[in-house]
Each structure stands twice: as C-alpha cells, then as structure tokens.
A and B are shown apart, each in its own frame.
Chain A
Amino acid sequence: AQSVTQLGSHVSVSEGALVLLRCNYSSSVPPYLFWYVQYPNQGLQLLLKYTSAATLVKGINGFEAEFKKSETSFHLTKPSAHMSDAAEYFCAVSRSNFGNEKLTFGTGTRLTIIP
C-alpha cells in the first residue's frame, strides 16, 4: 500500500520568509509524487509533479520540490512567501504503473502568511 504523511497540519510563516512544507511517502514501488493547492472555497489545483525525471521539480507560483529517495521525502519549498500563498496544500502519491486512479492524498497542511 502507498501513503503520504504531511508533517504539521498548520504552518505559519512571515511574508518574505522561506516556506517549507514537509511530505514523506511510503510506497513499495517507485512512486509518482504530487503537490496540490486548495485556495478557500475552491477545488484543488496541481502545483507540481515528480514522475521519475529530474529530482528537483519546479512548479507554478515559484514553488519547487525535491524528490529524495534516501529520505523518502518530497518537501515543498518557496524562497519568499507571499500573502497570496495562504492556502491548504496536499501531497499525493501514486504508483508509477498507475495513473491518477490510484492517487492517495495526505491530510493536508494549512499555510498561514503573517504580514
């Protein structure tokens, strides 16, 4: 079975500070990994995905994530937080031999930006 664990259900950072949202995965086969963002009263949007090409993945809105097999991690970072980054972020994992039909989401991390 596959799973993801997001450490910290709530994270607060000051505007302009580094954003770091943590995600660790468990998978018996090579995983594909995703970060989705949910703004208030909206559905989820894809931020970025890792599908076994480059281990450092760049996404939209200045976010990036690095796949580290030795640490089974896929942490999301952004160098400088903006007020518009306030949202809930979900890490997700899928087995590499399946598409979206076997996508498992984490429990989410709510990011608050302090002015």
Chain B
Amino acid sequence: EAQVTQNPRYLITVTGKKLTVTCSQNMNHEYMSWYRQDPGLGLRQIYYSMNVEVTDKGDVPEGYKVSRKEKRNFPLILESPSPNQTSLYFCASSNQGFEKLFFGSGTQLSVL
C-alpha cells in the first residue's frame, strides 16, 4: 500500500530536549516536505526536499532541521524545542511537478 509513515503519532516533551520526528515513504517519490498546522493559520511549510541531499527552507524554518540522506526518509529535527513549536506536524511526498501530495497521518507535538 502506498503510504507516508510518520512516527511518533503523539509526542510530549520539555523545552530544550532534542527530538526527531521520522517520515518515510514507499512510493519512490523525489519530493518530500514538512508542514505544521496551527488553528487559524492553516498549513505552513517548514522545509522541503527535491531529492537526496537537496533541501530548502519553506516559510517557517526557524528552529527546525532536516536531512535527506536516503530517498525514502526525511526526518524533522528539533534541536532545542520551545513551547511555540507545539503544533500538529505533517510530512508529505509526491513525484516532481503537480502530481498530488500524499500526506502522513500527522504528529501532534506538545512542548512543555
């Protein structure tokens, strides 16, 4: 089954404790992206990757890091999480161009 898998589904952490949210896709997609969803703000892009070792900033990259060492994986790293990073995070992937985005089920992060 074609899918984007994010882990964990829920995460509660404390300020300053490094964390990683994993994202994996099994569709051999070149493009992958991270979004955060906040009430009243919709989805905002954090980082995206056009292919292995190619990443670029989205609209709200501050406080986040990503890496794309393999085509299927695109982890999101918060080196020193802060409460304003409490949000619902989505990973997505697609082929190049305007093929549809496939979304993961989301990771609800709470930073205390």
Chain B 1-27, CB within 8 Å of chain A: the 1/0 string?
Answer: 000100000000000000000000000
Chain B interface residue count, Cβ-Cβ cutoff 8 angstroms: 27
Q: How large is the interface on A (under 10, 10 to 19, 20 to 34, 35 or more residues)?
A: 20 to 34
CB <8 Å contact, A101 and B31: yes
Counted as pairs of residues, one from A and one from B, with CB atoms less than 8 Å apart, the total is 59
Assuming the contacts A44-B90, A107-B42, asked whether A100 and B101 have C-beta atoms less than 8 A apart, the reply is yes
Interchain CA distance A37-B50 in the complex, whole Å: 24
B77-112: which have CB < 8 Å to A? 90, 92, 94, 96-101, 103-106
Q: Which residues of B contact A42 (CB under 8 A)?
A: 105-106
B97 contacts A99, CB within 8 Å? yes
Chain A residues with CB under 8 A of B99: 100
Q: How far is the CB of B57 from chain A (nearest CB, A)?
A: 11
Q: B41 to A107, Cβ gap below 8 A?
A: yes
1/0 contact string of A72-93 vs chain B (CB within 8 Å): 0000000000000000001000
Q: A104-B45, A105-B43 given; name 7 further pairs at CB < 8 Å.
A: A90-B43, A99-B94, A100-B97, A103-B101, A105-B35, A105-B42, A105-B44
Q: Which residues of chain B have a CB within 8 Å of any CB of chain A?
A: 4, 31, 33, 35, 40-45, 48, 50, 56, 59, 90, 92, 94, 96-101, 103-106
